Amino acid sequence: MVRVEKEECIGCETCVPVCPVNAISMVDGVAVIDQGTCTQCEACVGTCPVEAIKVE
């Protein structure tokens, strides 16, 4: 599962456009991944400048 550490996310939105299935949105300045839409491709993981997106 790919998830965002809310405490670490800086709200830069870098991950949003790289998601091929549009599973990432911004809520209150923090990236949120829709687990029902996410295909676990991990494209967002490498784009986060503060490594707030983790794979479990």
Burial class (CB in 10 A: 0-12, 13-18, 19+), 52: buried
pLDDT score at 52: 98
Q: How far, in Å, CA of 39 to CA of 1, rounded?
A: 9
Domain ranges of the chain: 2-55
Residue-averaged pLDDT of the chain: 97
Q: What is the pTM of this model?
A: 0.92
pLDDT score at 32: 98
Q: What percent of the chain has pLDDT over 70?
A: 100
Single-letter code of the amino acid located at 34? D
Q: How far, in Å, CA of 12 to CA of 37, rounded?
A: 21
| Residue given tokens 């993981």 in the structure block | 45
pLDDT score at 30: 98
CATH topology of domain 2-55: Alpha-Beta Plaits (3.30.70)
pLDDT for 22-42, tens place per residue? 999 999 999 999 999 999 999
Beta strands in 1-56 (DSSP E): 2-4, 24-27, 30-33, 53-55
